[in-house]
Structure 1
Amino acid sequence: MKTALVLGGTRFFGVNLVESLLQKGVKVTIGTRGETTDSFGDRVDRIKLDRFDKASLMEETVGRAWDVVFDQICYASHDASIAIDAFKDKVQHYVFTSTLSVYGFLDHTCQEEDFDPYTYPISYVKSENVSYQEGKRQAEAVFFQHAPFSVTAVRIPIVLGEQDYTKRLLFHVDKVLHEEGIGLPNQEAEMNFISQQEAGAFLAWCGENRLNGPVNACANDSISLQDLIRLIEGVVDKKAKIMTTITDENASPYGVEQSWTMSNERATAWGYTFTNLQSWLPSLIQYLAKEKENIKLT
Structure 2
Amino acid sequence: MQKISVIGGSRYFGKLLVERLVSAGHQVTVINRGSTPPPAGAEHLVVDRNDESALIAALGSRTFDVVVDQICYTPVQAAIAARVFSGRTRRYVMTSTIEVYDPATAELPTVPPGTPVPEEAVDASTWQVAMDLPWHDAAYLQAHYAEGKRQAEAVFARHQGFGFAAVRSAHVLGGGAAEFTGRLAHYVEHVTRGTQITVHAEALPTVFIHYEELADLLLWVATLTDVTGPINACSDGPLDVHDLGAVIAAQAGRKAMYVSAAEGEPASPFSFDRHYVMSNARAKELGFSFSHTTSWLPGAVAEALAASAAPTA
Range into which the TM-score falls when normalised by the shorter chain? over 0.9
Q: Which residue of 1 aligns with 2:33?
A: 33
CA deviation after TM superposition for structure 1 residue 240, in Å: 1.5
Q: Verify: 1:113 aligned to 2:116, yes or no.
A: no
Q: Which residue of 2 aligns with 1:48?
A: 46
Q: Which residue of 1 aligns with 2:297?
A: 281
CA deviation after TM superposition for structure 1 residue 187, in Å: 5.3
What TM-score do the two structures reach when normalised by structure 1? 0.93
- Percent sequence identity is 34
Q: Which runs of 5 or more structure 2 residues have no equivalent in the other structure?
A: 104-110
CA deviation after TM superposition for structure 1 residue 250, in Å: 8.7
Structure 2 residue aligned with 1:141, among 146, 154, 157?
Answer: 154
CA deviation after TM superposition for structure 1 residue 26, in Å: 0.6
- For residues 225-244 of structure 1, the aligned pairs below 5 Å read 225-244=241-260
Answer yes or no: is the 8 Å Cα contact 2:203–2:271 preserved in 1: no
CA distance in 1, matches of 2:306, 2:185: 11
Q: Verify: 1:102 aligned to 2:109, yes or no.
A: no
CA deviation after TM superposition for structure 1 residue 147, in Å: 3.8
Q: Which residue of 1 aligns with 2:196?
A: 181
Structure 2 residue aligned with 1:122, among 113, 123, 129?
Answer: 129
Answer yes or no: is the 8 Å Cα contact 1:190–1:222 preserved in 2: yes
CA deviation after TM superposition for structure 1 residue 249, in Å: 11
Question: How far does the alpha carbon of each residue in 1:78-135 deviate from its partner, in whole angstroms, 9 at most, with x for none?
Answer: 0110001111011110000011111113643211010011111222142534511111
> Structure 1's 295 and 175: CA in aligned 2 closer, same or farther, altered over 3 A?
farther
Question: How far does the alpha carbon of each residue in 1:47-79 deviate from its partner, in whole angstroms, 9 at most, with x for none?
Answer: 111012212222211211111000000011101
Which amino acid letter does the alignment assign opposite residue 13 of structure 1? F
Q: Which residue of 1 aligns with 2:170?
A: 157
Q: Which residue of 2 aligns with 1:4?
A: 4
Structure 1 residue aligned with 2:233, among 204, 209, 217?
Answer: 217
> Structure 1's 224 and 230: CA in aligned 2 closer, same or farther, altered over 3 A?
same
Answer yes or no: is the 8 Å Cα contact 2:5–2:31 preserved in 1: yes
Stretch of structure 1 that moved more, 124-133 or 55-64: 124-133
CA distance in 1, matches of 2:221, 2:49: 22
CA deviation after TM superposition for structure 1 residue 173, in Å: 0.8
- For residues 83-102 of structure 1, the aligned pairs below 5 Å read 83-102=81-100
Q: Verify: 1:207 aligned to 2:222, yes or no.
A: yes
> Structure 1's 167 and 152: CA in aligned 2 closer, same or farther, altered over 3 A?
same
Q: Which runs of 5 or more structure 1 residues have no equivalent in the other structure?
A: none
Q: Which residue of 2 aligns with 1:19?
A: 19
Answer yes or no: is the 8 Å Cα contact 1:190–1:261 preserved in 2: yes
CA distance in 2, matches of 1:145, 1:94: 13
CA distance in 2, matches of 1:54, 1:248: 42
The number of residues matched between the two structures is 295
Answer yes or no: is the 8 Å Cα contact 1:183–1:242 preserved in 2: yes
Answer yes or no: is the 8 Å Cα contact 1:70–1:94 preserved in 2: yes
> Structure 1's 186 and 16: CA in aligned 2 closer, same or farther, altered over 3 A?
farther
Q: Which residue of 2 aligns with 1:258?
A: 274
Which amino acid letter does the alignment assign opposite residue 92 of structure 1? R
Which amino acid letter does the alignment assign opposite residue 230 of structure 2? P
What TM-score do the two structures reach when normalised by structure 2? 0.89
CA deviation after TM superposition for structure 1 residue 291, in Å: 2.5
Which amino acid letter does the alignment assign opposite residue 283 of structure 1? G
CA distance in 2, matches of 1:191, 1:56: 40
Moved over 3 A (4+): 105-108, 127-130, 245-251
CA distance in 1, matches of 2:184, 2:235: 16
Q: Which residue of 2 aligns with 1:171?
A: 186
CA deviation after TM superposition for structure 1 residue 45, in Å: 0.6
CA distance in 1, matches of 2:181, 2:13: 12
CA distance in 1, matches of 2:310, 2:75: 43
Question: How far does the alpha carbon of each residue in 1:183-218 deviate from its partner, in whole angstroms, 9 at most, with x for none?
Answer: 001454111011111111111110111211111011
Two-structure CA RMSD over aligned residues (Å): 2.0
